[in-house]
Amino acid sequence: MSIKVEVSGPYALFSRPEMKTEHVSYDCMTPSAARGLLESVYWHPGLRWVIDRIYVRAPIRFTNIRRNEVKDTINARTVKAWIAKPKGELYLAASESIQQRAAMVLRDVHYIIEAHFEMTDKSAPGDNPGKFQDIMKRRLTRGQCYSMPYFGTREFPAKFELCQEIPPCPDELLGERDLGWMLLDMDYSDPANITPMFFRARLVDGMMEIPSIHSTEVVK
């Protein structure tokens, strides 16, 4: 069973992993970001969201901004040492660790996420696809979510609703456009060695087809 969700917002940042210092967004929403957005609306251990297509329904526009970020982190070794022998304070002072970084973000974004879900072995005897489909549609219609959906970073919240009809493709996105290698998702099959998966992203009349994680198009 598939479902279409319409999402939009003033800004989005789907960071390219190859950019280390400054944040640079992909040209459009990544499948992993789309999955995370759907999970923020409805997550259940008995289902797993699979993204099939992403429709870009606004011209691709970038803008540059500067954001305040915390540059330091607390590593696991420090935490373990503090737990074994508490001494002093275990925290980060944002006012002391703050720094400004430039980011190239998308603006005025509008997408249609087409997805389906697969039942998992953690589903209860009473769970079934029809039940989950109805719950998701009801939550979208009512604007309900577990946490506020966002576009790549929590600073950029997303407006979401059930898509009744896919809007037309913007004229400038007609035809085919190669977006290069894009992050598909993370492979969690081996918890000790979580690896990223990539695919060659292409927009055809504003629509990006998402390959299965088992497809030969996917590389790790």
Average of per-residue pLDDT values in the chain = 91
Q: What is the pLDDT of residues 57-84, one digit of tens each?
A: 999 999 999 877 777 777 788 888 888 8
Backbone angles phi, psi at 94, to 5 degrees: -60, -35
Cα dihedral sign, 220-201-113-111:
positive
Extract the tokens encoding 96. Answer: 């002391």
- How many Cβ atoms from other residues are within 10 Å of residue 33's Cβ? 27
Across the strands, what pairs with 111?
A: 7, 56
- Give the fold, CATH level 3, of 2-64+103-209: Alpha-Beta Plaits (3.30.70)
Whether 51 and 210 have beta carbons less than 8 Å apart is answered as yes
**What are the residue boundaries of the structural domains of the chain, listed by start?**
2-64+103-209
**Which helix (H) or strand (E) covers residue 195, if one does?**
strand 195-204
Beta bridge partners of 12: 106
pLDDT in tens, 130-178: 999 999 999 999 999 999 999 999 999 999 999 999 999 999 999 999 9
